Structure 1
Amino acid sequence: MGDDQHAPGPRFTGAGRIWEERQRLLSEVGDDLWGIELLRFAIQQAVADLAGLGGMVHLGRPGLGGGLRLVVTSGLPPAFAQEWERIDGSGPLAPARAFRDSAFVWAPLANLVPGMREPDATAGESRAWPAGTAMAAVPLLGPGRPVGTLSVVTLSSQEPSAGQRAFLDMLGRWAGERLSKPSGPPPASSLPGSQEQPPGSHLPQELPAVGSWDWDIRTGDVVWNDATLTAFGIAPDTFDSRIETWLGAVHPDDLPWVLADIDEAIRLGRMYSTEYRVCRPDGTTGWVRVRGRLVVDENGEPARMAGTLWDVTRTHEALGTVTGPQAHNAERAATERASRISQLTRALAEAVTVQDVVDATADHILPSFGAAGLMLAFREGDHLRPVGFTGYSAEFIERISRIPAGSGLPIAEVLRQRSPQFITSVEEYIERYPKTAGLPAEGGKKAWAFLPLIASGRPVGSCVVSFAEPRLFTGEERNLLTALSGLVAQAMERARLYDREHTRAKELQRGLLPRELPPLPAVTAAARYLPAGTEMEVGGDWYDVIPLSADRVAIVIGDVMGHGVSEAVTMGRLRTAVRTLADLELPPDDLLTHLNDLVSDLGDDFYATCLYLVYDPTTRGCVLTRAGHPPPAVVHPDGSVHFPDADPNSPLGAATPPFDTVELDLPDGSLLVLYTDGLVESSTLDIDQGMAHLAKALTSAVREALPGTACPHRDHAAAPAVTGLRCAACLEALCDRLTTTLLPTDGTNDDAALLIARTHALPGDDMASWPLPEHPKAARQAREHVRAQLSAWNLDALSTTTELLASELVGNVVRHAKGPIQLRLLRSDVLTCEVSDGSLTTPRIRRAAETDEGGRGLQLVSAISHRWGTRYTATGKCIWTEQPLKATAPALLTEHSDLDLYDPLDD
């Protein structure tokens, strides 16, 4: 058995085979295309062969003064095509040189194309081609002379290969010969009932004349050239130049969607393109194809719309005569597909996330081609990661993602080769990719279009459009799918960048805001942060709940002016500063004074609002200060809502201390609702109205949590308070309700933050205090009070440690400070021991030498307590210590548990 028996069958990979297929394709097209459709087909073939961005055809004739005129484009932006509408035939541009020399021309596109006008900088115009952009141009050769040029714009910096140049030359001759033939529709064998045109009529007579129009949107005046008047069958001397006359000529059945397209083009500022029927004054009906672009004034408002128009009546008549209903069905299918493609383009332009791109692609491509499956994938390392799919099982997608990209996956091969592949059957798939021959059966598909996703010349992923039955892809379908893959690639790359930035923004925001609010004895809290818009979820609003000594709690909310990363960084600095200053136990007005200095040092462009309050559960008192910030909403247990009336002072960075403070008495179970202006203020709602809406929403929510109603989230006993809002889950639900009620569903223009805290007063049974004399015996009395009270609280295990702490603190007061002396014990989740005096001196730990008689007391306090510190009061200062209730005695004491406490003041 020779080696020839194992040689593969003919494949479409050899250059000769490809050349034969191209020639066969052009010969089969024959005379089925003419005019604009012929030129558009030629552009599509040329663009596909060079993997170009788009193409265009210029025609030249004596009537144009030796110049070239743009007649059709494909895939090029309108702004680009506009610059190439008329070309000097003797100029240096590639189409002019190809037309003049009757030869192939390859020319890179510089930042400014020679021979074209300079951009008007005062009008905001600019022109910069991507690096490597180039243009290939070939003449459209008729008998004896060229009739025009075909040009392709590519991103490749390498000149086309010899094979590609040969194909372009062949395509130019093929199109030029057919353009120079006698004009008219196909012969009678193809289009029954059609009449032949007289010989000698060349392209300029055969192509429909290009009409132009200009509509002044503000006045309603329109200007038409002769070709447009002819298409509408209106004599120049009878046209009144009114938009009403134009719309009155549109067929009544087409007028609704014509008006809708015009309205959408003006509203979105996009290109206007459509086809519709016109009713001429002589009673006949025709078809026109219209394209236009919007022109805005200096304020960006719509001013004019101008464009071109072609009479395509003959094309529609020809299509209508081809095999009767079959042609009508084909035309309707093509129209539906064009509509879906237009919708896809629109949807991809609006897609923000990768999932949006997947959904838009599935919703519009699959119905357009009758496909059964879709998969979009990114390449990550040696594997392809599917990011969206439909028509496949999750198990199949999981297996695809585990297969290395180099293991014979066509979805990876097309990305590597940057060329699409169309596989018409399972047998063809197995022949091409034997290593993954089992995948078709697992996926349940029998034909595939594997498309590379190339964005800005860089491969970003792959797309698979699959079919439930074998399928032969027509040239139109291949070209259309290839073109659509470019749209999907651009949208995917843009969405991937957005998702990446979106993830980074959320990580930044999570790092700057509290991951979760701490559970504290004094308050139960919940919060929400809602960024403005959808571009980047990061801004300058912040909030925090900070535990202080003696079960007190500081609650802060602020808003840095602006929205974005810079404001978020400033917010992070301010939040860190607040926590640092709060740890110093500063009063609210002093804290904002220091914070104002910090913001002022950032520069004149930095401002922030802030509200800072301290709640004391032992007195149920609240002290708050605000700098330019909205007041908190206070909800009492009976459901009443009010806002403390006080001067907010100026924002941080513009304020002049001192700051005013407000003192409140809060009944147990009150709600403190703190918020930023983004929650209650917008362009259509002033802050007073927003606060009124907030009060109404709070009143409604509280009334639903009637007194005596058990908490739906926990097994709370009924109590004569708003028990329906006791736990954190209840407050979380209230946050969601308020944000849903107060914020629009389509997002806000400003960040919004919301923090709700329910206050809990410390029961009187958990507090004990005693006055002590300014006498050395005060330390012994302090130990006796501590021993007795801890025994009553069943905390005897902490008695030894607490007695020593109280003895040391009282001893320091007697020796180094002045009275009056007060001892206080608080029991919550920790045991707090406080000693107050009338001195403002701050105790501090110092290193004691071996010969020093004192200086070791605070070292002992720091060693045996969990936390300790000092805060200033209205009458002096307070030194406090904390111990966990379930903590064991420190080793310092357990090692000497048989020793009696010694107090040097007793001697």
Structure 2
Amino acid sequence: MDRFGEHTGGTGPRAEPRAAAHVALAANGMGSFTWDLTSGTMQYDQAGMAVMGFRPGEFDGRLSTLGERMLPGEVPAIQAQVDQALRDRTSFSLYFRVRHHNGWLRWTHTQGHVVCDAQGHPVRVIGIIRDASQELRAIDQTEQLRRVRHDRRRQADIVGHVSDALAPTVTVEDVSEALTSTLLLAQLEAASIVLGLVDNGRMQLAGSNGLSEELVRDFHLSRLSQPLPLTDAVRTGRAVFITSRSEFVARYPSMRPYLKMFSEATAAVYLPLIAHRTPIGALGLTYEGKGRFTHDERTVLTALGKVIAQSLQRALLYDQEHELATGLQSAMLPGRLPHVPGLALATRYRPARAQGGIGGDWYDALTLPDGRIAAVVGDVQGHDVTAAAVMGQLRIALRAYAAEGHSPTTVLARASAFLAELDTDRFATCLLALLDPRTGLTTIVRAGHLEPVLRRQDGSSVWLDSPGGLPLGLAAPDAQLAYPAVQTVLEPGSTLLLCTDGLIEARHEDIDRGRAQLLDALRRAPRRPDALADHLLHTMDTYTGGEDDVALLIVRRALGKRGKHAGAPQFQATFSRNDPGSLHAARLALRAALRRWSLVPLSDTAELLASELATNALLHTEGRATLTARPVSDGRRVLRLAVTDTSSASPQRRAAPALSTSGRGLMLLEELASAWGVEPQGSGKTVWCEIS
């Protein structure tokens, strides 16, 4: 009888199939076995014992002897699967290793089937066993190859993630924010990251993520001579790899108290950042659950240190150039603002983020002899040293022309001629606002520039519609350019905003959207000029990206006493050729206004000059004209008269015969007025004079 209780000898019809089955199993490297559950004995055929590594007659059938050939660590799992199959009266399939006489291990695969008696109780297990070494070796090699490919893809991804993060960076701050971002930290599968920069023999921590504030505070600006991970990497110029907490403490005893802050960290790497043989800093990464760094990982991380160092070096050079350009630009701007009672001023200059960061934007403010303030913003074409140099010359010229007492239109006309004479092939835009702090009367003149923005006391804002002329420098020096002026009153509590187009222009966006964005930002902005300026720069930079220079000047007129608006004393009357009595009524109203202003001594002269100005308007224009009068300097008792009409023709001096009743208007103006002039007003003009 064989192990299965059947005859193996003889020549009966059952012998040939049985022998054929054994031959087929052996030919395929398989053997058979039977396990008698009642006696607990295990029997293998000759091929099965060969798979298990038993010599003929060596196996005694006991399970304990079989267990000696198996690996102790695998026995509990095998026993659990077999017990489960016995309980379920089903089959099982097991992979386990056995140790042969020569000590080498062989993978085996066993398949067993539980046989039950008539009552359904398991009585024995029959099955086959085979050598699975080749099969599992191929699977293992495939898995190893898959892991290698996965690791290499992951390492390539790490290089890609870092490169993508550094691509848009410009400044050192940009690089620091990109390297320590939470997104990059997750992509690197690291627990924490820290960036340190070399600064005069010390290690300055420029950014971190995942580190405690206490650690950053205690090791900020550590000396390079201190035995610390980052400083070690810089001093030696080699990456520091640490793969256990005990190794970390052994190498850096001073860090022991801080190790509790990395309770889950098991490995770390500190990369030197060296560009062109110059140490720039170091980058540190800690990992959780990591026990080693493969050769490929070490190679990739070391290469990453070089890539990061190059980006940092470019950023450092940019910061140095940007600082130099900003210093040059700031040196050409006014050092301080004038102090004007009743007005609060704020200015800002923000250079572009482009390389170099130098341009031709400027602002200026100066107090004139009559107490008025001239506020200017402008922008010279280009972003280079030439633009900055031209800006400096043009700013000084504008200041000189305004200080000489010329009207705003004349100031811009002379500035345009000055720029043309420089022969630089550059033009400039400019906005000039001449404001009387006592009355709020403001004259605005533009040369190809953005209009000013008015923010009223109630918080509403509007772009002031005002006609403009050509940019400065676009005409020959002897050309007579027209720069129309428009007048408005800056009420107490209101704010006037002058800016260059860098504040509202965004690439690929229509400028009208930027104009709307600025009005929207003003609705939520603080009232104080300094806080308002900071708010606008921050808010609008988010929209524009800071791609262009910005010059900003803000003027706010203070409220009167006890919170009431201080009234702007001003007289205005309208008259026309079709209503002869309107001029007489205007003269009477003017005399009454002068009494209210305690300027009665000026009444006769004022009425005479007002009549001359008004008569000239009625004789040479069609339609209506407007007479305005206001005190411009109470201390000097100065009265300003102006007549606005719809004709662009300026008054001309002409000879007046002895008996003529006309032709003496300009002579009277020159004799009786302390100053007079003509200001274009788009569709007309304003002739004004001052009486002191």
TM-score bin (small chain): 0.5 to 0.7
Indicate the residue corresponding to 2:92 in structure 1. none
Q: CA deviation at 1:356?
A: 3.4
Inter-CA distance 369–471: structure 2 relative to 1 (3 Å threshold)? farther
Indicate the residue corresponding to 2:120 in structure 1. none
**SS of alignment partner, residue 490 of structure 1:** helix
Indicate the residue corresponding to 2:97 in structure 1. none
Indicate the residue corresponding to 2:386 in structure 1. 566
**SS of alignment partner, residue 196 of structure 2:** strand
Q: CA deviation at 1:594?
A: 4.4
Indicate the residue corresponding to 1:331 in structure 2. 149
Aligned mates of 1:562, 1:576 — CA distance in 2: 19
Indicate the residue corresponding to 1:473 in structure 2. 293
- Equivalent positions of 1:178-193 (< 5 A) are none
Indicate the residue corresponding to 2:227 in structure 1. 408
Q: What residue identity is the alignment partner of 2:601?
A: P
Q: What residue identity is the alignment partner of 2:154?
A: E
| Conserved? CA contact 1:341–1:365, under 8 Å | no
Structure 2 residue 407 is the aligned partner of structure 1 residue 609: no
Inter-CA distance 553–355: structure 2 relative to 1 (3 Å threshold)? closer
Q: What residue identity is the alignment partner of 1:411?
A: L
- Equivalent positions of 1:228-627 (< 5 A) are 321-322=139-140, 328-329=146-147, 331-362=149-180, 366-367=185-186, 370-434=189-253, 438=257, 440=259, 445-468=265-288, 471-513=291-333, 520-521=340-341, 523=343, 531-617=351-437, 621-627=441-447
Q: CA deviation at 1:335?
A: 2.2
**SS of alignment partner, residue 435 of structure 2:** strand
Aligned mates of 1:432, 1:691 — CA distance in 2: 62
Structure 2 residue 543 is the aligned partner of structure 1 residue 745: yes
Inter-CA distance 532–433: structure 2 relative to 1 (3 Å threshold)? closer
Q: CA deviation at 1:455?
A: 0.9
Q: CA deviation at 1:550?
A: 4.0
Q: What residue identity is the alignment partner of 2:217?
A: E
Aligned mates of 2:554, 2:424 — CA distance in 1: 32
Inter-CA distance 507–673: structure 2 relative to 1 (3 Å threshold)? same
Q: What residue identity is the alignment partner of 1:660?
A: A
Aligned mates of 2:359, 2:248 — CA distance in 1: 52
Inter-CA distance 447–756: structure 2 relative to 1 (3 Å threshold)? same
Q: CA deviation at 1:376?
A: 1.7
> Which residue among 482, 499, 519 is the counterpart of 1:660?
482
- Equivalent positions of 1:690-701 (< 5 A) are 690=511, 694=515
| Conserved? CA contact 1:527–1:735, under 8 Å | no
- Equivalent positions of 1:112-151 (< 5 A) are none
Indicate the residue corresponding to 2:7 in structure 1. none
Q: Highest CA radius of gyration, 1 or 2?
A: 2
Q: What residue identity is the alignment partner of 2:435?
A: Y
| Conserved? CA contact 2:444–2:487, under 8 Å | no
Q: CA deviation at 1:671?
A: 6.1
> Which residue among 529, 533, 536 is the counterpart of 1:728?
529
**SS of alignment partner, residue 362 of structure 2:** strand
Aligned mates of 1:630, 1:369 — CA distance in 2: 48
**SS of alignment partner, residue 322 of structure 1:** helix
| Conserved? CA contact 1:407–1:435, under 8 Å | no
- Equivalent positions of 1:491-890 (< 5 A) are 491-513=311-333, 520-521=340-341, 523=343, 531-617=351-437, 621-632=441-452, 643-648=465-470, 651=473, 654=476, 656-669=478-491, 672-678=496-502, 690=511, 694=515, 728=529, 732=533, 735=536, 740=540, 745=543, 747=545, 750-753=548-551, 755=553, 757=555, 763-764=568-569, 768-769=598-599, 771=601, 832-833=635-636, 873-874=675-676
Deviates more, 1:361-370 or 1:548-557: 361-370
Inter-CA distance 353–593: structure 2 relative to 1 (3 Å threshold)? same
Q: CA deviation at 1:405?
A: 1.6
**SS of alignment partner, residue 211 of structure 2:** coil
Inter-CA distance 750–661: structure 2 relative to 1 (3 Å threshold)? same
Q: What residue identity is the alignment partner of 1:347?
A: A
Q: CA deviation at 1:736?
A: 6.1
| Conserved? CA contact 2:426–2:473, under 8 Å | no
Deviations 1:756-811 (A, max 9, x none): 545677644996546389xxxxxxxxxxxxxxxxxxxxxxxxxxxxxxxxxxxxxx
Inter-CA distance 745–655: structure 2 relative to 1 (3 Å threshold)? farther
Q: CA deviation at 1:409?
A: 2.7
Aligned mates of 1:367, 1:749 — CA distance in 2: 31
Aligned mates of 1:667, 1:387 — CA distance in 2: 50
Q: What residue identity is the alignment partner of 1:873?
A: A
Q: CA deviation at 1:699?
A: 7.8
**SS of alignment partner, residue 606 of structure 1:** coil
Q: CA deviation at 1:430?
A: 4.2
Structure 1 vs Structure 2 CA RMSD: 4.8
Q: CA deviation at 1:486?
A: 0.9
Q: TM-score, normalised by structure 1?
A: 0.42
- Equivalent positions of 1:44-59 (< 5 A) are none
| Conserved? CA contact 2:347–2:553, under 8 Å | yes
- Equivalent positions of 1:61-210 (< 5 A) are none
Q: What residue identity is the alignment partner of 1:390?
A: N
| Conserved? CA contact 1:522–1:552, under 8 Å | no
Q: CA deviation at 1:360?
A: 3.8
Deviates more, 1:763-772 or 1:602-611: 763-772
Specify every segment of 5 or more residues in structure 2 that has no aligned partner in the other structure, as ranges: 1-103, 108-135, 559-565, 570-594, 604-630, 641-672, 678-687
**SS of alignment partner, residue 676 of structure 2:** coil
Deviations 1:14-52 (A, max 9, x none): xxxxxxxxxxxxxxxxxxxxxxxxxxxxxxxxxxxxxxx
Inter-CA distance 610–604: structure 2 relative to 1 (3 Å threshold)? same
Inter-CA distance 762–563: structure 2 relative to 1 (3 Å threshold)? farther
Aligned length: 455
Inter-CA distance 372–872: structure 2 relative to 1 (3 Å threshold)? farther
Q: CA deviation at 1:555?
A: 1.8
Aligned mates of 1:700, 1:651 — CA distance in 2: 34
Q: What residue identity is the alignment partner of 1:408?
A: P
> Percent identity over the alignment?
30
Q: CA deviation at 1:562?
A: 0.6
Q: CA deviation at 1:384?
A: 1.0
Q: CA deviation at 1:674?
A: 3.8
Aligned mates of 2:290, 2:521 — CA distance in 1: 60
Q: CA deviation at 1:727?
A: 5.4
Q: CA deviation at 1:355?
A: 3.7
Aligned mates of 2:346, 2:547 — CA distance in 1: 23
